[in-house]
Amino acid sequence: MFGQGCTTVRHAVPTLESSALHLCAHAFSYRRYVPEHRHLVHQTALDARHRALGARMIPFAGWEMPVQYRGLVEEHNAVRSAAGLFDLSHMGEIFVTGPHAAAALDYALVTAPGKLAVGRAHYSMICDDSGGIIDDLIVYRLGGERYMVVPNASNAAAVAAALQERLARFDATLDDASMRTSLVAIQGPRAAAILQPFVGVDLKTIKYYSGTQTTACGVPAILARTGYTGEDGFELFVAWDDAVRVWDTLLLAGAEHGLVPAGLGARDTLRLEAGMPLYGNELDRNTTPFEAGLGRLVSFAKSGDFVGRTALERAKDHPRKTLVGLKVDGRGIARMGYPLYLPAAPDACGSITSGTASPTLGFAIAMGYVPVGRSTVDEAYEVGIRSQRASAQVVPMPFYKRPT
């Protein structure tokens, strides 16, 4: 199966820089990473399929990716009401194997992957020595001595390099399979019904944040009940060229259930409604897990040292900022980088990290960093939108929870 072997060099994305991209009439603030060497842009195995469907393609994290097909709002609503099919092959897939794989990842990451049962997964982070976030990622335990780490596309090379360095002291091997693995995700309330006839496992037995090795649409796959939309759904990791068969099969079979292809635009508005952070917006190396409201991930109780532990122990009780969710009044959209003010204050005290006009909720929402101690629900702020200020209030996150 793909993901086996011992490839330790990733031939992928060069040094990257970030900028904001405004994407449609209901535009939201979306962080993209543009390669310094623009000719080094990858295409996924599904590139021809996207173009045949009329997708609008954009450069993202060194890849050409579909941002939308029929329209962001239509795709967003389809995922909330039926199902959407995503090509996420730009994401990284890094396998860590060996007798000390568990101990190596316990040292490399802030969570405790060694405590995962085989077949389970958890959300994690890799931090630097100062406690800054290098990336947020998902770790799957596929076997007693075999893990898969899935980093963001923009950070896949950096994560692979950091893990390689941190694994050096352990009897563990890193295999970066990112450039030979495709990832197709099906998300939405009808995802299980659409997918079930084409997989070799009863999906009712796959719990949230679980994964298993099986077949999907007749090809070997790692199937996981994970996603980035706030809906139920599944992610299928398959060999590079097998993505075409998976995509074609599910798109055809799902049409009668309301399944539509969905791009990165809808994925962003979906994750924002679900209160999920995006690296480069809410998370970066100048932010600690505690400031991002994700301090629960840091496992100080695990035995042994881990990278960033000393700095994170200090940062736990001394955050410099706090991430909050905001409901923004009026018709303006709070975009990334817009300033946040206390009411009538002349100087900004924080900034917006992500914002959109929520298709599901019908009003504008945003995330942003504010001063410590000013993050209680209903705390009032003003967002600087061009030459005006819009009132906003702190609200609980997630903004949206799927019906149970």
| pLDDT confidence of residue 303 | 87
Arithmetic mean of pLDDT, 148-173: 98
340-362 in b/e form (b: 16+ CB < 10 A) is bbbeeeeeeebbbbbbbbbbbee
Q: Is the pLDDT of residue 41 over 70?
A: yes
Share of the chain above pLDDT 70, in %: 90
The rounded distance, in Å, linking the Cα atoms of 40 and 50 is 20
Q: Which of 116, 147, 176 is the last residue of a domain?
A: 176
Number of domains in the chain: 3
Task: Categorise residue 36: left if φ over 0, alpha if ψ from -120 to 50, beta otherwise.
Answer: alpha
The answer on 115 and 74 residing in a single domain is no
Q: Identify the CA nearest to 237 among candidates 185, 194, 179.
A: 185
> What does the pLDDT look like over 61-72, one tens digit per residue?
999 999 999 999
The answer on 170 and 221 residing in a single domain is no
| pLDDT confidence of residue 48 | 98
| pLDDT confidence of residue 32 | 33
The answer on 186 and 264 residing in a single domain is yes
**pLDDT confidence band for 9 (50 / 70 / 90):** very low
Arithmetic mean of pLDDT, 116-126: 98
The answer on 186 and 262 residing in a single domain is yes
DSSP letters, 310-349, are HHHHHHTT--S-EEEEEEE-SS----TT-EEE-TT-SS--
The answer on 100 and 241 residing in a single domain is no
The answer on 229 and 145 residing in a single domain is no
By residue range, what is the domain housing residue 248?
16-92+179-273
What CATH number corresponds to the domain at position 234? Answer: 3.30.1360.120
Question: Does some domain include residue 287?
Answer: no
Q: Which of 139, 156, 176 is the last residue of a domain?
A: 176
Q: Decide the pairing of beta strands 83-87 and 181-187.
A: antiparallel
Question: Does some domain include residue 303?
Answer: no
What CATH number corresponds to the domain at position 334? Answer: 2.40.30.110
Question: Does some domain include residue 350?
Answer: yes
| pLDDT confidence of residue 10 | 28
Q: Is the pLDDT of residue 16 over 90?
A: no
> What does the pLDDT look like over 137-156, one tens digit per residue?
999 999 999 999 999 999 99
Question: Does some domain include residue 268?
Answer: yes
Arithmetic mean of pLDDT, 321-339: 97
**pLDDT confidence band for 45 (50 / 70 / 90):** very high
Query: Which tokens sit at 363?
Result: 């009003």
| pLDDT confidence of residue 38 | 44
The answer on 106 and 88 residing in a single domain is no
| pLDDT confidence of residue 37 | 41
Contact 263/389 with Cβ under 8 angstroms? no
Higher pLDDT: 24 or 197? It is 197
- Beta bridge mates, 324: 368
Arithmetic mean of pLDDT, 74-79: 98
What CATH number corresponds to the domain at position 131? Answer: 3.30.70.1400
Q: How far, CA to CA in Å, does 238 sit from each of 3, 247, 267, 284, 364? A: 9, 11, 21, 29, 37
| pLDDT confidence of residue 264 | 98
Contact 324/275 with Cβ under 8 angstroms? no
Record the pTM: 0.90
Share of the chain above pLDDT 90, in %: 89
Chain mean pLDDT for the chain = 91
DSSP letters, 224-259, are E---SSSS-EEEEEEETTHHHHHHHHHHHHHGGGTE
> What does the pLDDT look like over 275-322, one tens digit per residue?
999 999 999 999 999 999 999 999 999 988 999 999 999 999 999 999
Q: Is the pLDDT of residue 7 over 90?
A: no
The rounded distance, in Å, linking the Cα atoms of 214 and 191 is 17
Q: Which residues contact 248 (CB under 8 A, 6 or more apart)?
A: 49
> What does the pLDDT look like over 344-357, one tens digit per residue?
999 999 999 999 99
Give residue 279's identity as a one-letter amino acid code: Y
Q: Which residues contact 181 (CB under 8 A, 6 or more apart)?
A: 2, 3, 89, 93, 237, 238, 239, 240
Q: 292 in helix, strand or coil?
A: coil
Q: Is the pLDDT of residue 21 over 70?
A: no
| pLDDT confidence of residue 128 | 98
Q: Is the pLDDT of residue 179 over 60?
A: yes
The answer on 66 and 33 residing in a single domain is yes
The answer on 356 and 394 residing in a single domain is yes
The answer on 88 and 183 residing in a single domain is yes
